[in-house]
């Protein structure tokens, strides 16, 4: 199986959005149909300042190409080869105070008693890792790490922040990846407005290879 990473062009969103969202829904095990509720949001995100996205494309056999689950991952574009499918996607943008996710983090930190200057410091000058997903077909081969590393290489922001569902004992691939890459707790067990599941906010300083994780202190 040969795989390459590519930068996803915003101008070609029509070519990659469906397979990218299919990968996301499958990786997150969301119910089928969730795709339709995310299309507008992903399109809106790519207009944000500092938006950047990468994808992992894998070449599969002719037989695999037509497997029902995998055929949805084909790209409708000239820059993908005949037997390439999109098996991973990651994107993010520069965080800003007028974004819903930023306001949620501020609300959560304030609710835990953080003074305003500290809330301001934590929620400024960061890159938000909005989505990172590898299709189960391609998980466990280091693609998640490769996507994340490529996505944030050369970013101008001081830090990277993300949110991920809380999982008992931090026992899933997302937690294992983030911990391995030096992410530390920013805020734990936060419930976003409109979603009953608890989430964790994690963060670290950029660049990824550089010293010292970010901490809320
Ligand atoms: C989280 C996610 C993106 C990680 O992607 P991934 O490609 O599976 O993960 P990694 O890059 O960490 O690699 C996974 C494993 O491959 C191993 N690995 C790393 N480099 C490797 C390489 N070159 N060759 C073989 N294996 C390698 C890692 O050690 C890791 O092992 P582990 O899972 O036993 O810890 C993916 O599992 C996923 O989409 N999960 C569901 C959705 C999700 O939770 N997304 C994040 C929401 S915030």
Task: Give 7-56 pLDDT, tens digit per residue.
Answer: 999 999 999 999 999 999 999 999 988 999 999 999 999 999 999 999 99
Query: Which residue among 142, 151, 170 has the greatest number of ligand 1 atoms within 8 angstroms of its CB, and so is best to mutate?
Result: 142
- Ligand 1 close to Cβ of residue 215 (< 6 A): no
What pTM does this model have? Answer: 0.94
Angle (CA) 156 165 22, round 5°: 80
| Digit-coded pLDDT (tens) for 61-83 | 999 999 988 999 999 888 888 89
pLDDT at 68: 85
- Report whether residue 141 contacts ligand 1, using a CB cutoff of 6 Å: yes
- Give the C-alpha separation, 18 to 41, whole Å: 13
Is the pLDDT at 171 greater than 90, yes or no? Answer: yes
Active site residues: 178
Q: What is the best residue among 144, 182, 192 to mutate for testing ligand 1's pocket, by most ligand atoms within 8 Å of CB?
A: 144
Q: Which atom of ligand 1 is nearest to the CA of 134?
A: 39
The domain 2-205 belongs to what CATH superfamily?
Gcn5-related N-acetyltransferase (GNAT) (3.40.630.30)
Gap from CA of 161 to ligand 1 centroid (Å): 18
pLDDT tens-digit series, residues 192-207: 988 899 999 999 999 9
Q: How far is the CA of 87 from the centre of ligand 1 (A)?
A: 12
d(CA 215, CA 206): 12
CA of 86 to the centre of ligand 1 (A): 16
Q: Is the CB of 90 under 6 A from ligand 1?
A: no
Contacts of residue 135, defined as CB under 8 A and 6 or more positions apart, other chains included, come to 23, 26, 27, 73, 86, 87, 88
Task: Give the 3-state secondary structure of 138-200.
Answer: HCCCCHHHHHHHHHHCCCCCCEEEEEEECCHHHCCHHHHHHHHCCCEEEEEEEECCCCCCEEE
d(CA 153, CA 166): 27
**Mean pLDDT across the stretch 109-135?**
98
Q: Whose CA is nearest to atom 35 of ligand 1?
A: 176
Predicted pLDDT of residue 212: 56
Domain range annotation of the chain: 2-205
> Is the model's pLDDT at 217 over the cut of 50?
no
């Amino acid at each position: 199986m040969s795989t390459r990473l590519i930068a996803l062009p915003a101008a070609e969103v029509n070519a990659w959005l469906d397979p990218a969202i299919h990968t996301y829904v499958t990786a997150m095990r969301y119910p089928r149909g969730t795709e339709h509720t995310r299309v507008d949001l992903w399109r809106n995100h790519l207009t944000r300042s500092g938006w950047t996205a990468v994808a992992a494309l894998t070449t599969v056999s002719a037989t695999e190409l037509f497997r029902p689950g995998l055929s949805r991952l084909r790209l409708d574009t000239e820059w993908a080869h005949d037997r390439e499918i999109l098996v991973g996607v990651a994107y993010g943008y520069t965080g800003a105070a007028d974004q819903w996710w930023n306001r949620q983090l501020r609300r959560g930190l304030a609710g835990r008693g953080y003074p305003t200057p500290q809330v301001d410091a934590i929620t400024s000058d960061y890159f938000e890792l909005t989505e990172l997903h590898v299709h189960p077909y391609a998980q466990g081969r280091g693609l998640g790490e490769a996507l994340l590393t490529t996505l944030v290489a050369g970013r101008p922001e001081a830090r990277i922040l993300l949110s991920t569902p809380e999982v008992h004992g931090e026992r899933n691939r997302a937690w294992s990846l983030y911990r391995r890459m030096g992410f530390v707790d920013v805020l734990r067990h936060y419930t976003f407005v409109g979603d009953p599941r608890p989430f964790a906010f994690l963060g670290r300083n950029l660049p990824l290879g550089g010293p010292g994780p970010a901490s809320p202190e």
